[in-house]
Amino acid sequence: MKTFWSIILLAVMSLQLFGCAAQEAQTTQTDEITLSALGTVDFMRDVQPMAVSAQDPSAQHAQAAADFAVSLLQNSYSGENCILSPYSVYMALAMTANGADAQTLEQMQNVLGMSADELNDYLYTLSSRAGEEILCANSIWFRHNTSFAPKADFLQTNASYYGAGAYGADFDAKTLEDINAWVSEHTNGRIEKLLDKIDPMAVMYLLNALTFDADWEKEYFSTSVSDGIFHAASGEQTVSMMHSTENRYLQDALATGFMKDYMGGRYSYVALLPNEGVSMADYLASLSGEGLLSTIANASQENVIASMPQCKLEYKTELSEILSAMGMSDAFSNAADFSRLSNSELKLGKVVHQTYLSVNPKGTQAGAATSVEIMYKGIPLMQKSVTLDRPFVMGIYDNVNGCFIFLGAVNSVA
């Protein structure tokens, strides 16, 4: 058996590019969460979104989204599993772009394939028309009780188009707990710890979380599942192979594949197997958004015996270097212009992306989350900083009696 590889970003989303049903598409009150941090305040609870009209997406918009999806996979793949939700990343970056300006905005728009206004209209339309299989939520968390303040227009735009709640918080350990709890809640517990820590320089996190749950149109029975061998790069793996006959066959110059419908036919699992002798890296390099959409649109209506492995996969990555390489480097540097977000001097920090995918005889269950970190370009003028990373004087001081219990000079800590 040839090595089987399903390109997951296509498989789960079926390149509807990208349907995602916002849990409260018409209101900013998207979240009813228990906030553990007493200093966390929901700033959008009583704010009503502006009226937004869904616009019919064009073929150019679909191709732009496909181009981004393929480019993200090409730049992320490093020889190991690479399970992405391009929609989740797309939406988080689109919200971020609403705060960018000048060359920073221009670069982000070039990478995302359309203007910020077009992104807002396009993603709102997809959200409002998505199937019930996908649930999606967005939120904005920012450091409050400091000199940093997000602009009202930025929060309002993301509330109106993305249903994003806005939470002001202390950015302490409890805030980290709340952010991860929000992500866990909106991924049905599939992603429990998106963030490991809150950077001291961070002032905002823009979050997207989504789930995909769908049963197969034609479920696999026990007689259709048998032990098989998956020929991974690291060696053979014993797996449960699911066998069926499908009626849409895919073929391009370097691969063959099939499509398998989920219940109702709105979404399909898409799988492409590179031809013998074609490496995954070479196949991915050959892809384009236009070509991939064409391959799917030109699927031939003929029976194909399809076998695929039952699997449960998890993936986590940090995308700042990848997105910089894709063309939006200014956003991560001191050249960044996020003046539509705040009057503070800001840039992007880490962009954390995590996914979960289970493909089994019943159907597919998946989750994804993306966090875009906004941080100060440098240390704020009002915020002092001392890092003991070279020789220093230390002491233990009695504040009542005014004497040192210990006093010393530290030249080495090894």
CATH of the domain at 186: 3.30.497.10
Which pLDDT does position 4 carry in this prediction?
Answer: 38
Question: Could you tell me if residue 271 is inside a domain?
Answer: no
- Tell whether the model's pLDDT for residue 12 goes beyond 60: no
Mean pLDDT, the chain, rounded, equals 85
Question: Could you tell me if residue 288 is inside a domain?
Answer: no
Which pLDDT does position 51 carry in this prediction?
Answer: 63
CB 128 within 8 A of CB 152: no
CB 144 within 8 A of CB 137: no
CB 378 within 8 A of CB 388: no
CB 271 within 8 A of CB 359: no
Confidence of residue 136 (pLDDT cuts 50, 70, 90): very high
Confidence of residue 385 (pLDDT cuts 50, 70, 90): low
Which pLDDT does position 131 carry in this prediction?
Answer: 82
Question: Could you tell me if residue 394 is inside a domain?
Answer: no
Burial class of 188 by CB neighbour count within 10 A (0 to 12, 13 to 18, 19+)? middle
Percentage with pLDDT > 70 across the chain: 80
Question: Could you tell me if residue 348 is inside a domain?
Answer: yes
Question: Could you tell me if residue 272 is inside a domain?
Answer: no
Nearby residues of 152 by Cβ (< 8 Å), 6 or more positions away? none
For range 282-290, the mean pLDDT: 93
Percentage with pLDDT > 90 across the chain: 69
User: Worst-scoring range by mean pLDDT, 175-184, 254-263, 372-381?
Assistant: 372-381
Question: Could you tell me if residue 219 is inside a domain?
Answer: no
Which pLDDT does position 106 carry in this prediction?
Answer: 99
For range 119-141, the mean pLDDT: 91
Domain of 45 in residue numbering reads as 8-214+312-376
User: Worst-scoring range by mean pLDDT, 195-199, 293-297, 343-347?
Assistant: 293-297
pTM above 0.95, yes or no: no
Give the total number of structural domains in the chain.
Answer: 1
Residue type, 108: M
DSSP-based three-state secondary structure for 124 = helix
Question: What does the buried/exposed string (b/e) look like for 201-232 if buried means 16 or more CB atoms within 10 Å of the residue's CB?
Answer: bbbbbbbbbbbbbbebeeebeeeeeeebebee
Question: Could you tell me if residue 414 is inside a domain?
Answer: no
Which pLDDT does position 410 carry in this prediction?
Answer: 73
Report d(CA 215, CA 62) in Å as an integer. 25
Which pLDDT does position 406 carry in this prediction?
Answer: 59
Question: Could you tell me if residue 389 is inside a domain?
Answer: no
CB 264 within 8 A of CB 131: yes
